[in-house]
């Protein structure tokens, strides 16, 4: 039997799985005669998406922009904190327990307080997304920095490498794999933070749309918003995956790109 091309399998497999889920969903609604206000059929959900497409697309755009800004803020802050905590041991001993304790506090518990402190604008939503991304990045980058081979560090230092040179050529590459693992893990979770419009904004977005649909008992609208949130999660994950391929192409191909080879020769 001829083996399918890898690219076709990567696209066709998830698509087939999605079609099977939709088929099972439609069959369950019809077989058990479930009322639309309890569980709308795929056809009814699709009809609602088409009828309300401009509003859903605008909500998608707003939530996506919120995610991008918050994700960049959280990833950048998490990476910076990890570098500082690795370089200064006493900072790590003081901050690390506090970071662990902070993860026991649900985001929903502080979202209302963030609204009071920062207002009904973009700021509280950005903070929520950043908080979701921050901790996984800190932990994974710290693990990457701590896994650097000591002999490699001693060799570079013995050859006259500066502190910045040691970080750039030895420590920084060790953070790439755990950093992108953390970003892929938190990319989908941060969608939950990006819909902080529930309590953090009245300016729109998929979160506000979902809240309005729930308030009006519009189950088809709720499932339409969920479909767009799922699409947002997939888009975000693929973006992180593409960025990983550009930064560390050797994880996906035995032949690195030219620009990456030039970087390592510098």
pLDDT in tens, the chain (266 residues): 444 455 555 566 678 888 888 899 889 888 998 888 888 989 999 999 999 999 999 989 988 888 888 899 999 999 999 999 988 888 888 888 888 887 777 776 777 777 777 777 777 888 888 888 898 899 899 988 888 877 777 777 778 777 777 888 888 888 888 888 888 888 877 777 666 545 445 556 788 888 888 888 889 999 999 899 888 888 888 888 888 888 887 766 555 455 444 544 55
Q: Is 140 exposed, middle or buried (0-12, 13-18, 19+ CB in 10 A)?
A: buried
Structure tokens at 106: 């649900």
Cα distance between residue 264 and residue 266, in whole Å: 5
Half-sphere exposure of 232 (CA within 13 A, CB side): 31
Decide: 73 and 123 in contact? Cβ < 8 Å: no
Cα distance between residue 111 and residue 105, in whole Å: 11
Handedness of CA 102, 117, 190, 78 (dihedral sign): negative
Q: For the chain, what are the domain ranges?
A: 46-255
Q: Say which CATH class 46-255 falls into.
A: mainly alpha
Cα distance between residue 222 and residue 211, in whole Å: 8
Structure tokens at 226: 């969920």
User: Residue 27's closest CA among 15, 41, 37?
Assistant: 41
């Amino acid at each position: 039997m001829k083996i399918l091309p890898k690219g076709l399998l990567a696209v066709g497999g998830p698509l087939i799985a999605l079609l099977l889920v939709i088929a099972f969903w439609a069959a369950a609604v019809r077989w058990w005669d479930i009322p639309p206000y309890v569980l709308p059929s795929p056809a009814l959900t699709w009809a609602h998406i088409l009828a309300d497409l401009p509003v859903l697309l605008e909500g998608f755009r707003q939530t996506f922009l919120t995610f991008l800004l918050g994700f960049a803020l959280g990833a950048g802050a998490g990476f910076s904190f990890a570098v500082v905590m690795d370089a200064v041991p006493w900072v790590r001993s003081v901050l690390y327990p506090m970071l662990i304790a902070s993860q026991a506090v649900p985001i929903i518990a502080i979202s209302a307080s963030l609204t009071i402190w920062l207002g009904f604008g973009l700021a509280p939503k950005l903070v929520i997304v950043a908080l979701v991304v921050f901790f996984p990045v800190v932990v994974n980058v710290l693990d990457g920095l701590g896994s650097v081979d000591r002999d490699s560090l001693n060799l570079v230092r013995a050859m006259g490498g500066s502190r910045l040179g040691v970080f750039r050529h030895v420590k920084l590459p060790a953070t790439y794999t755990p950093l992108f693992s953390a970003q892929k893990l938190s990319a989908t979770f941060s969608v939950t933070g990006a819909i902080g419009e529930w309590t953090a904004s009245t300016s729109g977005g998929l979160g506000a749309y979902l809240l309005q649909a729930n308030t009006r008992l519009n189950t088809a609208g709720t499932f339409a918003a969920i479909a767009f949130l799922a699409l947002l999660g997939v888009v975000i994950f693929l973006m992180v995956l593409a960025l990983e391929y550009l930064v560390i192409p050797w994880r996906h191909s035995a032949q690195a790109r030219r620009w990456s080879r030039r970087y390592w020769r510098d």
